[in-house]
Amino acid sequence: MKIRVKFAKTGNMRFIGHLDILRYFQKAFQRAKLPLRFTEGFHPHPVLSFASPLGVGLTSEGEYFDTELVENMDCAEIRERLNAQMSEGMSVLAVIRLVDTEKKRNNNAMALVGQAEYQVRLRKAFSHQADWEETVHQFLMQEKIPVLRCTKRNTEEVNIRPLIYEMRAEPEPDTFFLRISAGSAANLRPETVLDALLHFTQSQQFPGEGDAETEKAENGNAGTENAAEQTGSAMDRAGKYEICRLDILTAEGIPLGEAGKEDQ
Amino acid sequence: MRKLALEDDILLKVEKPARYIGGEIGSVMKDPTRVRTRFAMCFPDVYEIGMSHLGIQILYAMLNSREDIWCERVYSPWTDLDAVMRERHIPLFALESQDPVRRFDFLGITIQYEMCYTNILQILDLSGIPLHAEERSWDDPIVIGGGPCTYNPEPLAPFFDLFYIGEGETQMLRLIDIYQECRAQGVSREEFLLRASSVPGLYVPSLYKTTYHEDGTIASFRPVVPGVPERVRKEIETDLDHTWYPEHPIVPFIKVTQDRVVLEIQRGCIRGCRFCQAGMIYRPVRERSLSFNEDMARQMLDSTGQEEISLSSLSSSDYSNLSPLLENLIEECDRRHVNISLPSLRIDSFSLDVMKRVQDVRKSSLTFAPEAGTQRMRDVINKGLTEEDILHGASEAFRGGWNRVKLYFMIGLPGETKEDVQGIAELSEKVCETYYDAVPRENRHGKIQLTASSSFFVPKPFTPFQWAKMLPEQEYLRRARFLKDTFRAQKCGRSMHYQYHEADVTVLEGVLARGDRRTAAVVESAYRKGCLFDSWSDCFDRERWQAAFEENGVDPEFYTLRDRSEDEIFPWDFIDIGVTRKFLRREWNRAMQGVVTPNCRQACSGCGAAVFGCGICRTHGEKGGQAG
């Protein structure tokens, strides 16, 4: 029986990396006495394929992986038994049974990923804008949102505007909702968008922003005049933004928890 | 959500933040307002090492079984976090509650190897606890040490309020009862320590005084307060079937060194190798019953979901019920897709058969520990293993499909000759040749790969070799290089890889292993100079240690290169491990004559461990266990 598990990873679990989460779930299935299917061969191991690895430091309300059990069971019971084995900060939100035919092979979680939704909050030291609603509106009005992407060889300018499907300021202070491109075709990181937004606000010289000039000058040295640089390490992320992935969706915008269900 | 002691910006900057957050499956949370005594249990090394230690998990389960006690864990912050904590004045915290260690009633530190001594001072320092016990007040936790290094606690004496000599299962709860009573009565910290000194196995260093002869050896060691026992006898659990065991071991989020559940099938060893401290201090050997081991294996796999189980003991092949236990475990583990790991097995046809069933022959290597290269030296150390045993085992292994072999040796054993060193390469060569003799060309999977490693022998307290002198560092290196050349000169030299341990760390380990109270000042100076994680070769700084010795006018050679007379008072003589000094001396003399002593199952040698009236002494011991 093939299943897709949707889970939340919150609180202190944000410090646990992707590979450790994989090992964590393997053990949780064992403890829950849920019989995973193991591969054949001398080193049998269960296969848990995750939709999209979540970086260290990020929380999530909608992570997914697919796996297979050797017997048929009630999805609600699987969820209950897994939840009895979770540590603080981890919870299984849903277990769905997947269509189990050869033809639908491309239905695996990773192949389906097309978009992701995030909530991003600016940490205090970086919040310097009151009217985010208007700023976001202006930001999205731009034809091009260029950012610098550093590869091993060189630095290139990429336009991320077409990869942002939805963006708005939330009622909570300095908080944003994002629906952006994800997956193997064009993966966009939420912090890249926020870096570009902050860069944009500085270059707009909004009234009451006394230090915008100096910051712009500092930023200007970093690269091309109107392109924001991409944030790199987990440290940079944690320093600037509190990021929560809300859900992962298909290219068509269907949450992975809905896609590939048996009755579809 | 538990509030963490460290802010996000720190946790995301340091290596492996999961080391510091706790919250693992199996970790115990309690309401601090509803417990009476808080115990911080510390392994003074990095999380991955400390989490692999069974002893702490046993005591953690035991202490937390009491509703009024909350036992939590503490490990050494790695050097990256260490720097941040000092800079920002963040006090060291326990993983479960994330509360500062200084607020606890007890700080228990397990002392597993000498090279962690500076880490112990780091733990105290970062916690804000005065390094010296005499400077502490009731505002500080009671600092108590345990583990194998407490069989000579003297180099750490000034830093601990108490040492627990022996196995923690027997008296820890009683000690806590006395503590609770003292606190309720409002007595002084000194009064508590005095009362603690009457508990079997407990040693309060501040209640004893050492005097020295002019030549630096010990003249006397005595309690300074009337009524305090002259000698401290180690504590042991006599019945390992009716005691605490971690049925719900903690499951780390990150990979740790021992990433599996550990089943301690027995404690102690019948062998009596003369260099081995564990073989003496854990006497007599006590087995856990087949049913205990089977039940515990099942329970631990159920509660953890771990993918591997390891059988732990000093010599698993000597466990009487090994065959039925493995039959049962293999079946159980096959069903669960769980691997079995079998360290410390003698290589014979039975164990090869078992290993073939539990591991991939082509991918695994076999480990032999002949310890010495010649029969003469193996008799000196009482290894009880002949060249024929080794070559026969190797031959069977090669026929079974293995072609990777690891061999462990020691250099610098007492009375070692050039032939003994050469013998290591020659024995390795014979093992290689056995491969080509045993396996016909068409059945070979490539060449044989042999790795030989040698450590330099360090004499330890409570072993027959406690009288032995060590060699100068340069001499160790000379012998190791000579051996390396000898390896190269062998016919199969290209199939053999030889490596040796660091000699400078060995010498320091030798000083601390048999050090007295005067070496404590050296440990403190070394720590003040920045020595930390000395067991990690990237961190070990020999210059700083050298300077620490000089600063305190302590000559390391006094501890390593000196001949010790038969009746010299050793710093650890006040400890009674059951095994008598008379027996150890007899073993030393037999070693010098190259005479082998039978193991406990073959014949009782009257070592003295029979005073505990348990384990193999009851089934195989001389009546009454005559000592000496």
Q: What token pair was written down for A253?
A: 């915008």
- Residue B98 to residue B106: CA distance in whole angstroms: 15
Cβ–Cβ contacts within 10 Å for residue B88, how many? 10
Give the pLDDT score at A153.
Answer: 78
CB contact, 8 Å: B298 with chain A?
no
Quote the pLDDT of residue B167.
98
With cut-offs at 50, 70 and 90, classify the pLDDT of residue B622.
Answer: confident
Residues of A within 8 A of B81 (CB-CB) are none
The nearest CA of chain A is from the CA of B304 a distance in Å of 6
Q: Does B603 touch chain A (CB under 8 A)?
A: no
Cβ distance A16 to B2 less than 8 Å, yes or no, reads no
Contact B305 A10 (CB under 8 A): no
Residues A41-81: pLDDT tens digits? Answer: 777 899 999 999 999 999 999 999 999 999 999 999 999 99
Would an 8 Å CB–CB cutoff place A85 in contact with chain B? Answer: yes
> Would the CB atoms of A30 and B12 count as touching at under 8 Å?
no
Distance separating alpha carbons of residues B235 and B200, to the nearest angstrom: 7
pLDDT at B358: 83
pLDDT of A161 reads 95
At residue B623, the pLDDT reads 54
Distances (CA, A) of B138 to B104, B129, B181, B184: 10, 11, 14, 13
**pLDDT in the model for residue B296:** 97
Q: Are A115 and A180 in contact (CB under 8 A)?
A: yes
Does the beta carbon of A89 lie under 8 angstroms from any beta carbon of chain B? yes
Of B582, B613, B54, residue with least CA distance to B284: B613
Residue found by looking up tokens 């009573």 in the block: B181
Contact B9 A234 (CB under 8 A): no
Residue B6 predicted with pLDDT over 90: yes
Q: Is A147 left (phi over 0), alpha (psi -120 to 50) or beta?
A: beta
Q: Do B307 and A27 touch (CB under 8 A)?
A: yes
Could you tell me the sign of the dihedral formed by the alpha carbons of B336, B342, B347, B351, in that order? negative
Inter-chain Cβ pairs, chain A and chain B, closer than 8 A: 76
Does the beta-carbon distance from B25 to A12 stay under 8 Å? no
CATH architecture of the domain with range A2-97: 2-Layer Sandwich (3.30)
- Three-state DSSP at B176 gives helix
| pLDDT, average across residues B543-564 | 97
Mutate which: A9, A10, A12, vs B, most B CBs within 10 A: A12
pLDDT of B356 > 60? The answer is: yes
Nearest-CB residue to B306 (from A17, A27, A235): A27
With CA atoms as reference, the chain A residue closest to B334 would be A44
**Taking 70 as the threshold, does the pLDDT of residue A213 lie above it?**
no
pLDDT digits (tens, 9 = 90+) for B400-452: 888 899 999 999 999 999 999 999 999 999 999 999 999 999 888 888 999 99
Count CA atoms within 13 Å of residue A153 on its CB side.
Answer: 1
Q: Which of residues 211-270 of B touch A (CB under 8 A)?
A: 251, 253-255
A206 and chain B: CB distance < 8 Å anywhere?
A: no
Task: Enumerate the residues of chain A whose CB falls inside 8 A of the CB of residue B17.
Answer: 15, 56
Tell me if A19 sits within 8 A of B253, measured CB to CB.
no
* CB neighbour list of residue B136: distance below 8 Å, 6 or more residues apart: B129, B130, B143, B161, B189
Reply yes or no on whether the pLDDT at B348 is more than 70: yes
Task: Say whether pLDDT at A223 is over 90.
Answer: no
Read off the pLDDT of residues B98-128 as tens digits, 9 standing for 90 and up: 999 999 999 999 999 999 999 999 999 999 9
Whole-model pTM: value is: 0.93
Nearest to B254 among A20, A27, A30 (CB): A20
Instruction: Please judge whether A31 and B303 are an interchain contact, meaning their C-beta atoms are less than 8 angstroms apart.
Output: yes
In angstroms, what separates the C-alpha of A120 from chain B's closest C-alpha? Answer: 16
The secondary structure element, H or E, covering residue B154 is none
pLDDT for the residue numbered B137: 98
pLDDT attached to residue B412: 97
What CA–CA distance (Å, rounded) separates A201 from A209?
A: 9
Tell me if chain A has a CB within 8 Å of the CB of B358.
Answer: no
Domains of chain B are 8-233 (3.40.50.2300)
Tell me: pLDDT of B575 over 80.
yes
Examine the pLDDT at A150 and tell me if it is beyond 90. Answer: no
Predicted pLDDT at B612 = 97
- Give mean pLDDT, residues B169-179: 98
Task: Identify which has the larger pLDDT, B444 or A28.
Answer: A28
| Segment 186-205 of chain A within 8 Å of chain B by CB | none
Token pair belonging to B157: 């004496």
Per-residue pLDDT at B41? 98
Q: How many residues appear in chain A?
A: 264
Give the one of A38, A57, A89 whose C-beta lies nearest to B1's C-beta. A89
The 10 Å CB-count burial string (b at 16+, else e) for A79-110 is: bebbbebbbebbbbbbbbbbeeeeeeeebbbb
Full DSSP string of A169-234 = E-SSTTEEEEEEE-SSS----HHHHHHHHHHHHHHHT-TT-TTHHHHHHHHHTTSSTT-EEPP-SH
User: How does residue A264 score in pLDDT terms, banded at 50, 70 and 90?
Assistant: very low
Q: Is the pLDDT of residue A181 over 90?
A: yes
**Contact B336/A at CB under 8 A:** yes
pLDDT score recorded for residue B347: 81
Average pLDDT estimate for B531-559: 97
